[in-house]
């Protein structure tokens, strides 16, 4: 029986899952606790869920922590009990346009890419080293978060750089959250025939808007790295390149310090001055907090801009899909985003919208020309499918 360990490391958390014959039998989520001071692991298996306080050492060596738990619960017998490992990778470059078995050449490419996006790739390399130490003979499949966007039209993919510069340094709009896009489209196809013109709003701590035409990526908001595009939880999103150069000159920050600043201290956190949590921002806005209002207004405005731009680019819109944490759970932000888009044929149903939280459903009024859907993403399930495909091919 095929058993796959799935690994999905985010910027502020780590997720693991064990799939047995294509079915998830265990899930783990390691993150900061509600107070933001300690670490907690949420472990789900069978019908049981338990939370464990987790040390920094267990977090940094999470693979060993998870593996020990799986053996304790008899979910696997040992290293020989695993068929393979699927690992989500967020990295720019031609090598990461597709999924790959992990080998020395792939690891070398990751080390190169680390110079371009150290905050995203450094934790992945650390995870790989732990995996190879713990499971030296188990195949590891690198599942690319950019693969979905690999055949995006050049008009969307290219920056306005000279061709030789773009080719030499591989500077293109690679796009990310592709695993989520594939998952959402797969789920949506279970409900109805896939229409020709779709916009998917993956809204979470990291956010992406993607235009999908005839089932393929047509344009997407993230670019060379996940910093481009929407204002996000703590990421700056799109910013004038001249402002970046000016900050580098005037702030005294070194390039890596500036990258850390753009990744961790901007976005909703920077605009509000208080928090990057949308739930907290909504509560603060109700209390009259101007910074919170600005952050939420900026987020909604930018999402509207992309919806308008991509609709124009595709020559219309059939379906608008919301997914990921904010997209699936926050009816308030969906309402805020859709407000004023009636002239585009996007008409939200207030009752349906409020009732559709963390589940699939259509939330548009009958008179709406554009169908509006909430479709929960399942990145772990998608990674498992891609890993199984790669191992058995």
Instruction: List, by residue number, the catalytic residues.
Output: 145
Among 151, 147, 128, residue whose Cα is nearest residue 139: 128
**In the numeric block, which tokens belong to residue 221?**
């908001």
**In the numeric block, which tokens belong to residue 17?**
């899952």
CA distance linking residue 359 with residue 376, whole number of Å: 6
Strands 197-202 and 208-213, sheet pairing: antiparallel
């Amino acid at each position: 029986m095929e058993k796959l360990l799935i690994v999905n490391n985010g910027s502020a958390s780590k997720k693991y899952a064990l799939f047995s014959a294509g079915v998830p039998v265990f899930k783990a989520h390691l993150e900061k606790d509600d107070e933001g001071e300690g670490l907690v692991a949420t472990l789900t298996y069978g019908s049981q869920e338990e939370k464990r306080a987790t040390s920094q050492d267990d977090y940094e060596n999470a693979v060993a922590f998870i593996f020990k738990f799986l053996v304790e619960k008899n979910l696997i017998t040992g290293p020989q009990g695993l068929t393979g490992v699927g690992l989500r990778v967020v990295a720019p470059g031609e090598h990461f346009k597709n999924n790959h078995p992990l080998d020395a050449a792939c690891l070398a490419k990751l080390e190169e890419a680390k110079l371009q996006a150290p905050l995203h790739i450094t934790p992945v390399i650390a995870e790989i080293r732990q995996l190879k130490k713990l499971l030296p003979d188990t195949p590891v499949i690198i599942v690319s978060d950019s693969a979905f966007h690999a055949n995006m039209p050049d008009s969307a993919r290219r920056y306005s750089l000279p061709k030789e510069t773009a080719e030499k340094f591989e500077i293109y709009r690679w796009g990310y959250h592709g695993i989520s896009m594939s998952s959402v489209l797969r789920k949506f196809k279970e409900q109805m025939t896939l229409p020709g013109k779709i916009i998917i709003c993956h809204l979470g701590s990291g956010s992406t808007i993607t235009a999908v035409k005839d089932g393929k990526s047509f344009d997407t908001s993230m670019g060379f790295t996940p910093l481009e595009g929407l204002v996000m939880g703590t990421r700056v999103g799109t910013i004038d390149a001249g402002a970046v150069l000016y900050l580098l000159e005037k702030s005294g920050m070194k390039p890596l310090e500036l990258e850390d600043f753009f990744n961790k201290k901007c976005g909703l956190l920077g605009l509000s001055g208080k928090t990057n949590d949308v739930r907290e921002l909504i509560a603060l806005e109700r209390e009259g907090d101007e910074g919170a209002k600005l952050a939420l207004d900026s987020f909604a405005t930018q999402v509207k801009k992309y919806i308008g731009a991509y609709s124009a680019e595709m020559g219309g819109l059939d379906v608008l899909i919301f997914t990921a944490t904010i997209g699936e759970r926050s009816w308030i932000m969906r309402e805020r985003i859709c407000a004023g888009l009636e002239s585009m044929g996007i008409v939200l149903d207030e009752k349906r919208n409020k009732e559709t939280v963390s589940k699939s459903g259509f939330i548009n009024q009958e008179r709406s020309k554009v169908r509006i859907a909430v479709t929960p993403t399942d990145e772990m399930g998608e990674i498992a499918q891609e890993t199984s495909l790669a191992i058995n091919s």
